[in-house]
Structure 1
Amino acid sequence: MAAEGEMNSNGDLGEPSAMEAAEVSTLPPPEMSDENGCTDSATEASAQPETAFFSAPPDTEDEGSDLPADFERLWNAAHDNPRDFTSWTDLLQYCEQEGHIGASQRALMEFLARFPLCYGYWKKFADLERRAGNNDKAAEVCVQGLQSIPLSVDLWIHYINLLLGTLDMNLPESPKHIRSVFEDAVVAAGLDFHSNRLWDLYFEWEKEQGDLRNATAVLDRVLKVPTQHYNTHYEKFKVHLNNSDPKETLSLEEYEEVRAFCRESQKVERAEQAKEKGEERPPGEEEPATPEGTDSEELMQRMREQVLVRREKIYQENENEVRKRWNFEDTIKRPYFHVKPLDQTQLRGWHAYLDWEVAQLKKDTQDHNKDSNKTDADVKEDPEVTAQPQREMEETKVFCDDHRVRFLFERCLIACALYEEFWTRYIQYLETCSVDEVRAVYKRACDIHLPSTPNIHMQRATFEERHGDLAEARRVLEALDKNMPGLAVVRLRRAALERRAGQLEQSEALLQEAVTQSKEKPTLHAFYSIKLARLFLKLGRNPSRARRVLQEALEISPDNDKLHLNLLEVELSAETWSSAEAVQQCVTRALEAPLTPHTKILLSQRGLQFVEEYSNSIQSVLSVYEAHQKLIKELGGTKREAESGDEGREKLSKGDGGSANGASEQVPPTDPQVPITMPPPPPMSIDAGAQSGGYGGYSSWYQQPQYSSYGYQNTWNYNQGYYPPS
């Protein structure tokens, strides 16, 4: 709780409420690692949210020319890093200290466009307009704020108090307007566990208007809502009922029903008492009648007792619901928005609370379906069902349906607005309900709260593509690519979208542009070049263009082993009769490049394998083999250098006792459907063949799965976050 006189993150001063914020602290923007293909830091300044909150700009013409001295400096500092909460609060505090209305209006509008969940600053904005004599503008500010954060009990109360202080209550439309605002408030925020003050204000206002039935209706509604001070509402109901005539307090329907029941029970009770005393009335003489339109004090007391009996059932049911939620609510120490990170206890608490509420909904739905499937015979055989009237059952049923689950998600997304995982979870919940609702949640998350979190933007693009809106999917990815330049995953996602849409030329153009723009960054340039070459080779069926792309990339990055490996793949995929010389040239280029010994040996082995499989001359095979053996001796002196990196391969060539003939102990597959990919071992030992320079030594690497991991390994993990987690 903030100390009195201390400003919290929502802009309130000295209001001793549990909703107060703690110290102002800045949450650093999420960093993108190299695993996501980002070589530059995210550009926050380019992520501009929508700022058109108001229908018209504030009236700042008179004061716009003489802004405070340090305003421009603080304004520029905030705009240079628009997600820096502290820079904005420094600007707002300075404007408030200077007492400059125009500067404050301008700063508040920009701030609230980026941090619309700070209800305290909406209150400050409304108070600023009211002090300036703009009551209509103050009300408009409150309305705009409530559109951004409709669950804010504090902002609703502030708006209602503003109306109570500015409207002429002598006009007949004023009470109607305030009552409609109260209704909007309890519908929007009345399910909040801390909504007691709002319900109490509504009840007291109805009492002041002299409409006791409406006041009773308000209490009846809150008695069914699990709130922190649920018991005080019940006590208020008792006091309210005992201090008023039931005819003025209860609805006409309930009054007649309860009155008839109490009069009948009163008559039966008196008849039993008379029978016990042995008294009988003379024939034709009835019990003294009560004057028409009046109730005796005894009857009214009986009616109050009967009403409380009915409400007691509702109260007990609601108390049970409060007890279920109390531990979850107790873990939520910060139910308001703040840029300061939440601790893990609160994050786990939100997840557990959501899990429980969703499970409750499923349970209630199953129970409802079971009750709906009961036959008339089942109902007759069930004494509990027949004993309790249907209307009474409905009254004791505490409100718990899909609306409560959604309400809890919305509460969670106030405190956890900067956590992508909760937005994703809410979207997954809504996807079975409505596409439009999911689209609206994506818009709030991406445009306002998470402008620099790429995964949720890409999920949004996938969602739009999946539902057929390719134009919107393109727009989302283009905006993300512009706001976060250098993020390879976004450019690849754009190229993939165009490819799936049948726009292969556009896909090529996007990758070609990325290759051109990344020439100053060799690693990223090689990454894009490989992607473009593969597109030419696999989809364009144009190995010459793929070869040209990789060769140009090698001029910039001759030491990039992935470029050499992929160029070799291109040469190996060509026609056999025309690729032999190109393969050898590719291997020769790699051996002359500044590559690691392991990579050179791997490429040499691959060239040897190609000659072995496709050459028509044994002399060419032996020639390449001898060159390969010479390379091994030069780079490592042993065969182990060529075979390092895979412990499984050593086990294939050597048995437990260290013998080179251990490979013969490997059991070939017995399933006729599984081809034998490894030939039987040679009759002589591998090492002996190698020492004699014979061709048999070639089996030592051919038998082993050297190329199970051949090809370019994507260190960027660009598929990460393609779909929301299940």
Structure 2
Amino acid sequence: MAAEGTEDPSNNGELTNPLGLHEPEVAEPSKPDVELSSESAGNEDLGAPALPYTAEGQEEEEGELPGEFEKLWKLTSENPLNFNIWTDLLQYCEQEGHLRASCQAFNAFLARYPLCYGYWKKFADIERRAGHNIKAEEVCEQGLKVIPLSVDLWIHYINLLLGTLDMNLPESAHRIRCVFEEAVASAGWDFHSDRLWDLYAEWEKEQGNLKAMTAIYDGVLRVPTQLYNAHYEKLKTHLTSHPPLDFLSPEEYCMVRAEYKQTQKQAKKERSDIAANEEERPPGEEDPADDGKDSEEAVQKMQELILASREEVYQQNEAEVRKRWNFEDAIKRPYFHVKAMDRTQLKAWHSYLDWEMAEAEMISMDAERTTAEGSEESKKDYVAGHGRVLVLFERCLIACALYEEFWVKYIHYLEPRGVEDVRNVYRRACGIHLPYKHSIHLQWSAFEEKHGNASEAQRILESLEMVLPGLSAVRSRRVGLERRAGRLDVAESLLKESVQQSKDNPSLHAFYSIKLARFILKLHRNPSRARTALQEAIEISPDNGRLYQNLLELEISGDVRANEGAVQQCVAKALAAPLSPKTKIHFSQRGLQFAEDFGTTVQSLLSKYEDHQKLLKEHDGKRGAENGDNDDPEKMSKMDDASATGVQTAPPAMPHMAMTTPPPTMMGGDMSGSYGGYGSWYQQQYGGYGSYQNPWNQYNQYYPPS
């Protein structure tokens, strides 16, 4: 697989922040997942981040910027989402070496694409070539705050310090050592961190600090890395090239020496070959004094004991590496790039994460079982297992930073473990990499509200609405947030504002009008104002059946004895509107059913029935005319036969209703006309009254039922 240090031709970055370090809340404008409204379409640079990476105290060069730079800079301003235009600008700055232009370009680029570790390195080199060593260090430090798992950037930073610090000063060596410690703590658990560990060990060797060199190799011996075997070979060479006193800590040296002496005594006793001076002495006589020097035999034996203890750790680490090898081999692009990843790569990351989380869960269960026994080793294993999951997620969120699914997966893993950790992930995802992915912003807002931070939830939604103006999901969430907080006046004003602003978009205007009407009716108990809101919307969108449906529901929900006229007036208005024939049939049927259930006169009921039959015949006639050429002769013959034998068929308007047995004729005589026919029809249809809403299930997609 590709090694971690292998740079992509575009020098793109490596990793996000596994330690939760502070990051500037800037927006890397990935491709929006929604269609922007006309208001935002003319402003492509909306939500562009500020330039937070400028080194403090930086003095800009005087004079005008080069003309070619101004031309390229204008192109990036007009096309801020075009990655290639940015790289052309940065390449020009590198070639020309104009410091002011370079700082302006790199600051703007890295604010949008902070995971491109290669450009942090280039920016630092530009500052160093200009003689600004302190500023070059600051650039590296700022980059490492964003991608602390970047082995390449750590090595670049360390080499920068090694080339600029006066190593004759004792504080310089101390600073280098501190940076190395921070580097291995941040990036040392990466599978491709081998070069960092080797550089650290070699540097300590140059300093003549063999004990520190041993500690470094002991550390990497417990880390599953790609070159784990090479580290072990170097450790063995190191341990067999020097006496233990030189490379072991005092504590471990004493333990190894005592173990060696114990094994020697045990071996002599087993051979029953105890020398005279080794025989048991009288009470009060002490053992011969130890001169503190080890013989060659003692050195060799102690080295064997030391190697044996390391061999056991190595075997355990090798087992961990083997578990992960195939997963690592499947990852072909561990760096950041704006190009889309193929499905195979996305699946590889998902599989690896799922496996690592399952491993950590098993370790956690084992740790719980041994908690009663107080096993410190189990606790360490649990911490290591959780740490490996975190590192893997952070590695994944370099290559997959623009994929919302991995951020959400990370959040779900962290949520049971700590609120602040989840909050930090949301900040990074929404503030830097996914400024236009509204769904994860909505999740973040709900998360903050859930944990009692309503003001932050409100801020998140307001900021998102500035980036994606006119998005109904965001405005609806804002309304709900204000309503849950008890600020009904604010919630209503937001809906009214939406109604006013969406008049040029009839569908959206109808949506908000329905929202507003239901809000007023349900929370303010004011049917009159709700009715007005719907009637005003109908004037703008007379062909929107959902508006009539909600108006009808409003009238029916009131006092049916007082609202009979209003209900039938609403039905008549819908029948006169430019709605589809099927929609009109549904409204006519609803009016007929209302007349049957709550009508005050039978004349009204019969009138509604006759009107409904006419509407059915008109619809059936139009459908027959449209399909006349396709009529099946055999089917038509069967229908004629059925008519001849007097078999009654269901009305064409309700083809899905089950046929029921016609009721006996009422009031005697032939009741085939008017009410008698309605009685037969109604007997068939009334049992299906509860399914009346089925044709309106599509409405639920537009607006969920209350």
Instruction: Identify the TM-score tier after normalising by the shorter chain.
Output: 0.7 to 0.9
Q: Counterpart of 1:386? A: none
> How many residue pairs are counted as aligned between the two chains?
654
Residues in 1 aligned to 2:591 and 2:390: alpha-carbon distance in whole angstroms: 62
- The 5 Å alignment of 1:224-239 reads 224-239=222-237
Distance of aligned partners of 1:398 and 1:165 in 2 relative to their CA distance in 1, 3 Å threshold: farther
Distance of aligned partners of 1:458 and 1:58 in 2 relative to their CA distance in 1, 3 Å threshold: same
Residues in 2 aligned to 1:612 and 1:133: alpha-carbon distance in whole angstroms: 92
Contact 1:11/1:124 (8 A) holds in 2: no
Report the more deviating stretch, 475-484 or 218-227. Answer: 475-484
Q: Counterpart of 1:247? A: 245
Contact 2:194/2:227 (8 A) holds in 1: yes
Contact 1:142/1:155 (8 A) holds in 2: yes
Residues in 2 aligned to 1:580 and 1:499: alpha-carbon distance in whole angstroms: 33
Distance of aligned partners of 1:682 and 1:138 in 2 relative to their CA distance in 1, 3 Å threshold: same
- Deviation of the 1:353 alpha carbon: 1.6
Amino acid paired to 1:556: I
Residues in 1 aligned to 2:69 and 2:259: alpha-carbon distance in whole angstroms: 72
Residues in 1 aligned to 2:618 and 2:549: alpha-carbon distance in whole angstroms: 21
Contact 1:565/1:712 (8 A) holds in 2: no
Match of 2:517 among 533, 540, 544: 533
Residues in 2 aligned to 1:187 and 1:504: alpha-carbon distance in whole angstroms: 51
Q: Counterpart of 1:604? A: 588
Distance of aligned partners of 1:714 and 1:411 in 2 relative to their CA distance in 1, 3 Å threshold: farther
Distance of aligned partners of 1:43 and 1:611 in 2 relative to their CA distance in 1, 3 Å threshold: farther
CA displacement 1:589-626 (0-9 Å, x = unmatched) = 22221111111111111111111111221111111211
- The 5 Å alignment of 1:336-415 reads 336-374=335-373, 400-415=384-399
- Deviation of the 1:332 alpha carbon: 1.1
Question: What's the secondary structure of 2:222's corresponding residue?
Answer: coil
* Cα RMSD (Å): 3.6
- Deviation of the 1:4 alpha carbon: 11
- Deviation of the 1:31 alpha carbon: 3.2
- Deviation of the 1:110 alpha carbon: 0.9
Residues in 1 aligned to 2:702 and 2:269: alpha-carbon distance in whole angstroms: 87
CA displacement 1:346-376 (0-9 Å, x = unmatched) = 211222222222222221122223233349x
1:624 aligns with 2:608: yes
Q: Counterpart of 1:67? A: 65
1:32 aligns with 2:31: no
1:452 aligns with 2:450: no
Question: What's the secondary structure of 1:683's corresponding residue?
Answer: coil
Match of 2:619 among 599, 610, 635: 635
Q: Counterpart of 1:707? A: 692
Contact 1:554/1:563 (8 A) holds in 2: yes
Report the more deviating stretch, 345-354 or 145-154. Answer: 345-354
Distance of aligned partners of 1:325 and 1:4 in 2 relative to their CA distance in 1, 3 Å threshold: closer
CA displacement 1:160-189 (0-9 Å, x = unmatched) = 011111111111111111111000000000
- The 5 Å alignment of 1:88-127 reads 88-127=86-125
- Deviation of the 1:55 alpha carbon: 5.4
Match of 2:163 among 165, 185, 210: 165
Question: What's the secondary structure of 1:179's corresponding residue?
Answer: helix
Match of 2:482 among 488, 493, 498: 498
Residues in 1 aligned to 2:379 and 2:277: alpha-carbon distance in whole angstroms: 41
- Deviation of the 1:59 alpha carbon: 2.3
Distance of aligned partners of 1:607 and 1:155 in 2 relative to their CA distance in 1, 3 Å threshold: same
Amino acid paired to 2:692: Y
Residues in 2 aligned to 1:156 and 1:658: alpha-carbon distance in whole angstroms: 92
CA displacement 1:4-33 (0-9 Å, x = unmatched) = 998424289xxxxxxxxxxxxx99714327
Distance of aligned partners of 1:438 and 1:717 in 2 relative to their CA distance in 1, 3 Å threshold: farther
Residues in 1 aligned to 2:403 and 2:153: alpha-carbon distance in whole angstroms: 24
- Deviation of the 1:316 alpha carbon: 0.3
- Deviation of the 1:136 alpha carbon: 0.4
Contact 2:13/2:398 (8 A) holds in 1: no
- Deviation of the 1:262 alpha carbon: 1.7
Contact 1:50/1:447 (8 A) holds in 2: no
Q: Counterpart of 2:542? A: 558
1:320 aligns with 2:319: yes
Q: Counterpart of 2:494? A: 510
Q: Under a length normalisation based on structure 1, what TM-score does the superposition of the two structures give?
A: 0.83
- Deviation of the 1:94 alpha carbon: 2.2
- Deviation of the 1:81 alpha carbon: 3.7
- Deviation of the 1:426 alpha carbon: 1.2
- Deviation of the 1:68 alpha carbon: 1.9
- What stretches of structure 2 of length at least 5 have no aligned partner? 15-27, 626-641, 652-658
- Deviation of the 1:399 alpha carbon: 7.2
- Deviation of the 1:46 alpha carbon: 1.3
Residues in 2 aligned to 1:97 and 1:265: alpha-carbon distance in whole angstroms: 68
Amino acid paired to 2:694: S
Match of 1:77 among 65, 75, 78: 75
Distance of aligned partners of 1:411 and 1:111 in 2 relative to their CA distance in 1, 3 Å threshold: same
- Deviation of the 1:244 alpha carbon: 1.1
Q: Counterpart of 2:630? A: none
Distance of aligned partners of 1:279 and 1:431 in 2 relative to their CA distance in 1, 3 Å threshold: closer
CA displacement 1:620-663 (0-9 Å, x = unmatched) = 1111211221222223249999xxxxxxxxxxxx9xx9975999
1:49 aligns with 2:49: yes
Contact 2:592/2:605 (8 A) holds in 1: yes
Report the more deviating stretch, 186-195 or 397-406. Answer: 397-406
CA displacement 1:426-451 (0-9 Å, x = unmatched) = 11222222212211111111010000
Residues in 2 aligned to 1:83 and 1:533: alpha-carbon distance in whole angstroms: 40
Residues in 1 aligned to 2:610 and 2:241: alpha-carbon distance in whole angstroms: 109
- What stretches of structure 1 of length at least 5 have no aligned partner? 13-25, 376-389, 642-653, 664-677, 720-726
Q: Under a length normalisation based on structure 2, what TM-score does the superposition of the two structures give?
A: 0.85
Residues in 1 aligned to 2:679 and 2:585: alpha-carbon distance in whole angstroms: 19
Report the more deviating stretch, 304-313 or 360-369. Answer: 360-369
CA displacement 1:249-280 (0-9 Å, x = unmatched) = 111111111122223333444566684xx997
Contact 2:592/2:612 (8 A) holds in 1: yes
Q: Counterpart of 2:663? A: 682
1:87 aligns with 2:54: no
Match of 1:148 among 146, 149, 152: 146
Q: Counterpart of 1:672? A: none
Report the more deviating stretch, 417-426 or 452-461. Answer: 417-426
Contact 1:409/1:426 (8 A) holds in 2: yes
Q: Counterpart of 1:645? A: none
Distance of aligned partners of 1:359 and 1:204 in 2 relative to their CA distance in 1, 3 Å threshold: same
Residues in 2 aligned to 1:282 and 1:61: alpha-carbon distance in whole angstroms: 83
- Deviation of the 1:518 alpha carbon: 0.9
Q: Counterpart of 2:10? A: 8
CA displacement 1:491-550 (0-9 Å, x = unmatched) = 111111111111111111111111111111111111111111111222221111111111
Residues in 1 aligned to 2:312 and 2:426: alpha-carbon distance in whole angstroms: 42
Match of 1:136 among 134, 147, 152: 134
Question: What's the secondary structure of 1:576's corresponding residue?
Answer: coil
Residues in 2 aligned to 1:616 and 1:140: alpha-carbon distance in whole angstroms: 84
CA displacement 1:568-596 (0-9 Å, x = unmatched) = 22222232233222222222222221111
Report the more deviating stretch, 145-154 or 43-52. Answer: 43-52
Question: What's the secondary structure of 2:694's corresponding residue?
Answer: coil
Distance of aligned partners of 1:533 and 1:372 in 2 relative to their CA distance in 1, 3 Å threshold: closer
- Deviation of the 1:222 alpha carbon: 0.5
Distance of aligned partners of 1:33 and 1:640 in 2 relative to their CA distance in 1, 3 Å threshold: farther
Amino acid paired to 1:198: L
Residues in 2 aligned to 1:201 and 1:352: alpha-carbon distance in whole angstroms: 32
Q: Counterpart of 1:194? A: 192
Q: Counterpart of 1:387? A: none
